[in-house]
Amino acid sequence: MSYQVTSYQCPNCLAPLRYDTNGDRLVCDNCGNSFEITIIQQLFADKEQQANSADVLPEWNISMIGGFSPDEAAHLRSYTCPSCAAEIICDDTSGASSCHYCGNPTVIPSQFRDQLKPDYIIPFKVNKEYAIEGLNKYYRKKRLLPKDFSDSNHIEEIKGVYVPFWLYDGVAHALLRYHGTKSHSYRRGNYEITETDHYRVVREGNVVFEKIPVDGSSRISDAHMDSIGPFDYIDLRPFTTAYFPGFLADKYDEDALMCSTRANNRIIASTEHVVKDTMNEYSTLTKEYSSVNLISSDVKYALFPVWLLTSRWKDQSFLFAMNGQTGKLIGDLPVDRGRYWGWILRIAGPIAIILAILLFFI
């Protein structure tokens, strides 16, 4: 089934517009003009409404052998490019794409209707060139990286993606009990005496949480998304597709309920950490009992900017993720075993010499 999609085009020359991460505007690379987002939204409001209500085109009823399986076909979608009328094929989680023929950035409004529409978005602040340079700097800081990796590997793919996140608000009620000790030492004659007092420490109260983020895409590593955080909510804005041109966007495929376990674990761990920080006067603390209950909660849907870079070296692919707002980057790298063992020996060698001296000469 084919659906109409909406793209933002320059009012002057009809070339595709893209979102400029530096100027917070939509710019045209063809004629050089730039426009405020609100103006373009107003100009294209009628066009977007027409695209959303366009009639579905008839399909040819052709039976084919060796096609997609029913499960595969269920997750495919096709859309008509408004610039050149070509078909854009993507999966059922894509919210923005680009035409493979004319390169026109495309927004798929039907993916964000009703309950699928995000509440917030954080626009991209760092561009593609910054992401590439950040990856090169990331290489230079890794001492155990193979010598030829930086020279012989190449970036296979780089794309800016708006990743779906669930934001959890809530109040956690905590009741925790610890066994605490306080110790102090003093001298009496020729003896040094240490006295230890034991306490039963109980804390109870409420901790308020706002916008605990958990990514809602199963296709992107949770570890990568957790590591490139946090995102600065000062740039959190009401959702609009005007920030999409030039980037990709996915809708969630893991709903808020599926992701709530990760959010709960974070809230419990953070609550215990906050409570424990109120007991710094004790020498030791041993947790005996902990009960953390979420007594109220609210969930919002947001899109956060992420650069995904794929590098290839010796028939292996390495994925890197960069925070599209702050530039923080994380990824997997190969390890030179020779350098690794050399580093271990440089550390272990002096320690072994010191131990030998202690054992044989003292």
Token pair in block for residue 19:
């979102």
| Least confident span in 96-110, 158-172, 256-270, 334-348 | 334-348
pLDDT of residue 74: 61
Identity of the residue numbered 40: I
Indicate the domain borders of the chain.
2-117, 128-331
CA distances 295 to 172, 206, 271, 301, Å, are 6, 9, 13, 21
Is there a contact between 104 and 7 (Cβ–Cβ < 8 Å)?
A: yes
Is there a contact between 167 and 262 (Cβ–Cβ < 8 Å)?
A: no
Tell me which H or E stretch contains 205: strand 191-215
Higher local confidence (pLDDT), 135 or 341: 135
Higher local confidence (pLDDT), 147 or 288: 288
Question: For all residues of the chain together, what is the average pLDDT?
Answer: 75
Does the pLDDT of residue 23 top 90, yes or no?
Answer: no
Q: How confident is the model at residue 55 (pLDDT cuts 50, 70, 90)?
A: very low
Token pair in block for residue 142:
């890794």
In percent, how much of the chain has pLDDT > 90?
19
Is there a contact between 181 and 230 (Cβ–Cβ < 8 Å)?
A: no
The CA distance from 105 to 27, in Å, is: 12
| Least confident span in 59-73, 82-96, 342-356 | 59-73
